[in-house]
Amino acid sequence: MKKHIEYKTKGTCSRAVVIDVEDGVITSCEFVGGCHGNTQGVAALVIGMKAEDAIAKIKGIKCGMKSTSCPDQLALALEEALNA
């Protein structure tokens, strides 16, 4: 089953993350805003990964003094996609 999520991020420079998950695998990932090179790199790395594996690797990552990060917000978006 294919799921399309547009997740509004909280506490990060990026404003949103748009992902597609099909049969538990991330098929598309794009951040809106944020540090372009970093978010583009993270997005490219997770495409083709099982969503559960990506969550395990990136959930809880912090950015500087912030309690979250773009990768952490992506993990939350993926959890939402899996639970939808």
The string of pLDDT tens digits covering residues 46-70 is 999 999 999 999 999 999 999 999 9
pLDDT at 18 over 90: yes
Which residue ranges form the domains of the chain, and what is each CATH number? 2-83 (3.30.390)
Q: What is the mean pLDDT of the chain?
A: 95
**Residues 26, 49 contacting (CB under 8 angstroms):** yes
Residue 40 tokens read as 């583009």
For 33-46, the pLDDT digits (tens) are 999 999 999 999 99
pLDDT at 1 over 90: no
What is the chain's length? 84
pTM of the shown model: 0.95
